[in-house]
Amino acid sequence: DQQVKQNSPSLSVQEGRISILNCDYTNSMFDYFLWYKKYPAEGPTFLISISSIKDKNEDGRFTVFLNKSAKHLSLHIVPSQPGDSAVYFCAASGNAGNMLTFGGGTRLMVKP
Amino acid sequence: DAGITQSPRHKVTETGTPVTLRCHQTENHRYMYWYRQDPGHGLRLIHYSYGVKDTDKGEVSDGYSVSRSKTEDFLLTLESATSSQTSVYFCAISGRQVNQPQHFGDGTRLSIL
């Protein structure tokens, strides 16, 4: 049973508009959440994270929102750019070993 | 970019042969991880290490073994490769503090025929 789920395998957005990527989790012990971006033939690159003591974290065009009661997090990209086209993975951690559990990924396509 | 090098980057081999993948880091980080990426599954943890000669199993460890004799090197071995182990393998590292992001290498694409 997947503990972290990204229910949208793909998302298409027009350049300049907002991209919203969603992630749900089931394990209430998770207390640290991350988003990674992955281009083809490269490793995942860390994008942004949030601790469970917060409900929002912002870094430039990227904002992550955490709703603990709903066990849901989302990544907002504003404005979206063609270079943002990639696969985005959400991940969660809940132990001192920093082990991550990943969602299945969402492919974002930003059209010029 | 984090100093992580995976080798080889690509490998094709036959069922039943042993395969070893290498991960080398220059960051002196304590934690090292091996993941596999398959369509629809995201990345799944195979094994991880929390120090020299200290390793533990992850979610999908069957058929894999690891070794870490030096801080900078973490080896993943498939003793007798099977076609189900065809995948892209990623190594990651992270520091000692809790809630640090992991940083990934560029992966090894392994095909087992």
How does residue A95 score in pLDDT terms, banded at 50, 70 and 90? Answer: low
Instruction: Kindly state the percentage of chain A with pLDDT values over 70.
Output: 97
Pick from A36, A98, A104: which is nearest to B94 by CB? Answer: A98
Mean local confidence (pLDDT), A32-52: 95
B99:A46 CB<8 A: no
Inform me whether the C-beta atom of residue B3 falls under 8 Å from chain A C-beta atoms.
no
What value does the mean pLDDT of chain B take?
Answer: 94
Q: What is the CA radius of gyration of chain B?
A: 13
* Residue B111 contacts residue B12 (beta carbons within 8 Å): yes
Chain B positions touching A42 (Cβ under 8 A) are 106-107
Angle at A38 between CA A43 and CA A9, to 5 degrees: 135
Q: How many CB atoms lie within 10 A of CB B99?
A: 15
Residue A97 scores a pLDDT above 70: no
Angstrom distance (rounded) from CA A45 to CA B9: 18
Beta bridge partners of A32: A51, A93
What phi-psi label fits residue B40: left (phi over 0), alpha (psi between -120 and 50 degrees) or beta?
Answer: left
Q: How many CB atoms lie within 10 A of CB A77?
A: 23
Mean local confidence (pLDDT), B87-111: 92
How does residue B100 score in pLDDT terms, banded at 50, 70 and 90? Answer: confident
Predicted local confidence at residue A2, as pLDDT: 84
Pick from A42, A46, A105: which is nearest to B101 by CB? Answer: A46
Q: Pick the residue from chain A with its C-alpha nearest to B107.
A: A43
Pick from A4, A34, A43: which is nearest to B107 by CB? Answer: A43
Angstrom distance (rounded) from CA B49 to CA B66: 9
Query: Cis bond leading into B8, ω under 30°?
Result: yes
